[in-house]
A and B are shown apart, each in its own frame.
Chain A
């Protein structure tokens, strides 16, 4: 039984159960959370690579990436620090498009970003229309502090899985914990099961 705190009534009552994951609150802001400085890779030096368990690594320059078929998505996002933002608009390239025709024995991926940030997840969580590399937020180029020029978007997992400044997706036949996953955060991170920390 939860401890009732005297005098606490809740001034910002949140949408009813089921609309946002347990323990979250809705914000209109777009808070920024990163473990270090914001990288600023010039577009002429930016590339995106799919590597690992794949016959030949695939690489796109910025212009090549921008020429890929694009999708526009509207999703809710949930940060492990408790905020959720509803109905966010993004544009980018589906991970399915990047992996189109790839034959792989991999069942996990490790996303690698500028400055070495990493995050891991099962391959099935980034395929079948569940993940994108996005470069546009609300119709504008994605700002560096929010992960621009491009970030991973995996909206059904806590937002640290949506690696900012992503540069490489490595296909792995094993699971390799990423940055926060090695520092006490949950390995999978399903907000609806409130998998915030290891052991949840």
Chain B
């Protein structure tokens, strides 16, 4: 069932990613990791649909969608460039029952994000805080530069005051002066250093562009992680999660 979503606020997270806070009357709630379908309608009736991950915690009350602006994407272009307070579109969801994590699930849990693939993982991070989950959680986040890290300050702050949450960033293209984190692409060697090992039986969630997810998931198998402990969400080059 399509529902009317009203834009309450827009916020630029990075040069390429904008968060839209929307209000959906009678929203049923979501589980962290789920996504929504968005449908846009032009004045002449033309419609386009795409899927976007929910970045907010279920507890937040407002739905937040983090949308990457794609040059050739028509729905993402509207959401990330045109939409402003008071605009409306149609939304359907929540969708997806597999790439989800909540505090009722046993820990530890580790999250591996490539670029804008961090969106559904942010929902998990935020939910763990809001629901006072005591599972150990680690986020390995690969971005091109510090400017491309979504919610950087929030994540750094959280890691500083919550001993159960660890943030590991790797900046693959450009690092600020004095950067002490990783500065290389995520490969088997980096995963072996930065993640908990297979013996911990940690649940692992991987989200990002297809190439990123494909290479991370394959490396995890090679490192000995059980296939059914790894859940993936891939973004195609067309921007579809």
Contact at B89–A10, with CB atoms within 8 Å?
A: no
Which of A36-44, A89-97, A151-159 lines the interface with chain B? A36-44
> Any chain A CB within 8 A of the CB of B155?
no
Q: List B contacts of A81 (CB < 8 A).
A: 51, 236, 240-241
> Any chain B CB within 8 A of the CB of A193?
no
Q: List B contacts of A180 (CB < 8 A).
A: 98
Per the bound structure, the CA–CA distance linking A138 and B99 in Å amounts to: 31
Contact at B40–A36, with CB atoms within 8 Å?
A: no
Contact at A29–B237, with CB atoms within 8 Å?
A: yes
Partner of A115, one of B51, B227, B237: B227
Contact at B232–A12, with CB atoms within 8 Å?
A: no
> Any chain B CB within 8 A of the CB of A32?
yes
Contact at A83–B232, with CB atoms within 8 Å?
A: no
Could you tell me the distance in whole angstroms from the C-beta of A80 to the nearest C-beta in chain B? 9
Q: List A contacts of B9 (CB < 8 A).
A: none
Partner of B232, one of A4, A29, A35, A197: A35
Q: List B contacts of A9 (CB < 8 A).
A: 42-43, 46
Q: List A contacts of B99 (CB < 8 A).
A: 35
Closest to A27 in B: B238
Contact at B41–A3, with CB atoms within 8 Å?
A: yes
Contact at B42–A37, with CB atoms within 8 Å?
A: no
Instruction: State whether A184 and B234 are in contact (beta carbons under 8 Å apart), knowing that A6-B87, A12-B48, A81-B241 are contacts in the complex.
Output: no
Q: List B contacts of A79 (CB < 8 A).
A: 240
> Any chain B CB within 8 A of the CB of A68?
no
Q: List A contacts of B41 (CB < 8 A).
A: 2-5, 8
> Any chain B CB within 8 A of the CB of A82?
yes
Could you tell me the distance in whole angstroms from the C-beta of A171 to the nearest C-beta in chain B? 26
Could you tell me the distance in whole angstroms from the C-beta of A125 to the nearest C-beta in chain B? 24
Contact at A23–B95, with CB atoms within 8 Å?
A: no
> Any chain B CB within 8 A of the CB of A53?
no
Residue of A12, A13, A180 most packed against chain B (CB within 10 A): A12
Contact at B232–A3, with CB atoms within 8 Å?
A: no
Instruction: State whether A31 and B240 are in contact (beta carbons under 8 Å apart), knowing that A37-B218, A39-B227 are contacts in the complex.
Output: yes
Chain B interface helix/strand/loop/mixed: mixed
List B83-112 residues whose CB lies under 8 Å from chain A: 83, 87-90, 95-99
Which of B53-61, B70-78, B135-143, B174-182 lines the interface with chain A? B70-78
Contact at A184–B95, with CB atoms within 8 Å?
A: yes
> Any chain B CB within 8 A of the CB of A104?
no
Partner of B238, one of A4, A29, A36: A29
Closest to A79 in B: B240
Contact at A184–B87, with CB atoms within 8 Å?
A: no
Contact at A31–B237, with CB atoms within 8 Å?
A: yes
Per the bound structure, the CA–CA distance linking A181 and B190 in Å amounts to: 36
Per the bound structure, the CA–CA distance linking A82 and B74 in Å amounts to: 13
Contact at A36–B231, with CB atoms within 8 Å?
A: yes
Q: List A contacts of B50 (CB < 8 A).
A: 82
Residue of A8, A12, A35, A38 most packed against chain B (CB within 10 A): A8
Closest to B4 in A: A3
Per the bound structure, the CA–CA distance linking A182 and B98 in Å amounts to: 10
> Any chain A CB within 8 A of the CB of B220?
yes
Q: List A contacts of B220 (CB < 8 A).
A: 37
Contact at A82–B49, with CB atoms within 8 Å?
A: yes
Contact at B74–A32, with CB atoms within 8 Å?
A: no
Q: List A contacts of B232 (CB < 8 A).
A: 34-37
Contact at A2–B90, with CB atoms within 8 Å?
A: yes
Q: Mark B153-176, 1 if CB is under 8 A from A, else 0.
A: 000000000000000000000000
Q: List B contacts of A36 (CB < 8 A).
A: 217, 227-228, 230-232
Per the bound structure, the CA–CA distance linking A7 and B232 in Å amounts to: 34
- The contact sample of 8 A-B pairs, CB cut-off 8 A, is A6-B82, A25-B49, A34-B234, A36-B217, A36-B232, A37-B232, A116-B228, A184-B95
Which 8 pairs of residues, A with B, have the shortest CB-CB distance? A31-B236, A183-B97, A37-B217, A2-B41, A11-B74, A10-B46, A7-B82, A8-B40
Interface residues of B (CB under 8 A from A): 2, 4, 37, 39-43, 45-51, 72-74, 77-78, 82-83, 87-90, 95-99, 210, 214, 217-218, 220-221, 227-228, 230-232, 234, 236-238, 240-241
